[in-house]
């Protein structure tokens, strides 16, 4: 019995020694691999101090791949974000089925005028998570370039409303080019971005206005719903109610609403946007509208 027991014990020892010698490397390093995979999935790697330079280079490469991927994704989002266009009546229309139809485009003409009024309007837009196109006149920008920068810095799109507030349709092509292109250059010089939207004063650009706008990569538009705020005056009572009535009576999906930088419009804006939201409308981001440059 003693000899048999000794033989069994010797065999067991030899087997145990053999198993230890053949243990897989992956089993010994599995925890480290899991940690590295987790770091990579978070967009960066934590490189221990005792890693060699090759390891650091690999980690930096992995991070740049993630960053480049994010940039490509952002570019893709920007490229597919043009979900609307304007029809011949200047209404906002979805490009395809399944895109929300009950939307409104907000616009303000004839600025920039006063910082307090601009801030009040944009404060209200921010409250309702809305964007609006601010169509500016060149002569006003020349007087107060800081107001143009205010609109831009607060994240609102700027449109071209020509240099003067004149009827363009009867002007020569040279005059119309000067009226439009001078504003294009001025806005770009001040904000770094040239406008992509053009609205002729009085809604009267004519064929020449359309031609020059297109040559400058501008989307030509007038409006499909007028607030009639420009017909009001300081002494008129109940201007907010009148503005609400003017807009809601014409309201329809895709409405392109014309307003102005006027004190009573700034005062009525919160009530107007609240009423529109209650009716189930949402405010379209002008950047989602196709323009000729697209």
Q: Give the catalytic positions in this structure.
A: 109, 260
The DSSP 8-state label assigned to residue 280 in this structure reads T
E runs forming strands in 152-247: 158-160, 197-198, 219-220, 225-226
Spatial distance between the Cα atoms of 59 and 79, rounded to a whole number of angstroms: 30
Structure tokens at 165: 């507030």
- What three-state secondary structure class fits 217? coil
Q: Are 147 and 118 in contact (CB under 8 A)?
A: yes
Residues whose CB falls within 8 Å of the CB of residue 216, separated by 6 or more in sequence, listed in order: 180, 181, 184, 194, 198
Which of 153, 213, 144, 149 is closest to 184 using CA atoms?
213
Spatial distance between the Cα atoms of 207 and 149, rounded to a whole number of angstroms: 31
Spatial distance between the Cα atoms of 15 and 17, rounded to a whole number of angstroms: 5
In the chain, DSSP finds a helix count (H) and a strand count (E) of 10, 10
- What three-state secondary structure class fits 80? helix
Which of 231, 217, 223 is closest to 200 using CA atoms?
223
Torsion of CA 130, 190, 196, 257, to 10 degrees: 40
Q: What angle do helix axes 145-153 and 115-127 make, rounded to 10 degrees?
A: 10
Q: Are 148 and 189 in contact (CB under 8 A)?
A: no
The DSSP 8-state label assigned to residue 95 in this structure reads S
């Amino acid at each position: 019995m003693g000899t048999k027991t000794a033989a069994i014990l010797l065999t067991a020892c030899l087997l145990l020694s053999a198993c230890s010698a053949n243990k897989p490397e992956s089993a010994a390093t599995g925890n480290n691999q899991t940690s590295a995979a987790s770091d990579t999935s978070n967009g960066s790697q934590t490189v221990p101090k005792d890693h060699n330079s090759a390891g650091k280079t690999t980690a930096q490469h992995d991070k740049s791949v993630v960053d480049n991927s994010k940039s490509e994704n952002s570019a893709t989002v920007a490229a597919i974000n043009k979900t609307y266009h304007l029809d011949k009546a200047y209404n906002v229309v979805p490009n395809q089925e399944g895109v929300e139809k009950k939307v409104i485009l907000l616009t303000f003409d004839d600025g920039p005028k006063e910082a307090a009024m601009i801030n009040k309007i944009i404060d209200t837009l921010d409250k309702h998570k809305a964007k609006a196109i601010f169509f500016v006149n060149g002569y006003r920008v020349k007087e107060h370039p800081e107001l143009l920068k205010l609109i831009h810095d607060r994240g609102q799109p700027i449109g071209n409303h020509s240099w003067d507030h004149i009827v363009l349709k009867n002007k020569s092509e040279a005059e119309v080019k000067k009226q439009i292109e001078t504003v294009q250059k001025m806005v770009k010089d001040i904000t770094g971005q040239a406008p992509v939207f053009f609205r002729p004063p009085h809604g009267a650009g004519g064929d020449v206005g359309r031609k020059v706008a297109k040559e400058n990569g501008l989307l030509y538009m007038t409006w499909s719903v007028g607030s009639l705020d420009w017909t009001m005056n300081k002494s008129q009572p109940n201007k907010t109610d009148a503005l609400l009535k003017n807009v809601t009576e014409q309201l329809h999906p895709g409405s392109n609403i014309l307003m102005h930088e006027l004190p009573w419009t700034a005062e009525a804006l919160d009530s107007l946007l609240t009423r529109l939201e209650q009716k189930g409308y949402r405010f379209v981001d002008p950047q989602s509208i196709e323009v000729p440059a697209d």
